[in-house]
Amino acid sequence: MSESYETLLEAARQLPAEQQRRLAERLLAGVSRATSQTTAEAGKARRHFGAWDSGDEHSADNERIDRDLAREYDGSRQR
């Protein structure tokens, strides 16, 4: 764990029990909000999966995509 996290954790441990509980609840609420926002954004993006058909039945071939990317990156260095 990072030093700043350890420092924060140690400070939280020194709070009275009720304040520790409230801090934990606020942190969990923040994580929950962030997670639901991220999930909602991911859902919006997923609506577009497969929306474009290139006409190439092998267009989702990851190995082919990796080769194409490597070729493009190698080519850009030589230009």
Asked, for residue 70, whether it belongs to a domain, the answer is no
26 domain residue, yes or no? yes
Count: domains in the chain: 1
pLDDT digits (tens, 9 = 90+) for 21-62: 888 888 888 877 777 778 777 777 777 666 667 788 887 888
Q: Residue 69 falls within a domain, yes or no?
A: no
User: Roughly how many angstroms between the first and final C-alpha of the chain, as a whole number?
Assistant: 44
pLDDT of residue 27: 82
| Cβ pair 43, 36 in contact under 8 A | no
Does this model's pTM top 0.75? no
Tell me whether residue 68 is in a domain: no
* DSSP sequence for 12-51: HHTS-HHHHHHHHHHHHHHHHHHHHHHHHHHHHHHTTTT-
Is 73 among the domain residues?
no
Residue 61 lies in a domain: no
**Residue 12 included in any domain:** yes
What pLDDT shows up at residue 1?
54
Domain membership of residue 43 as a residue range: 1-47
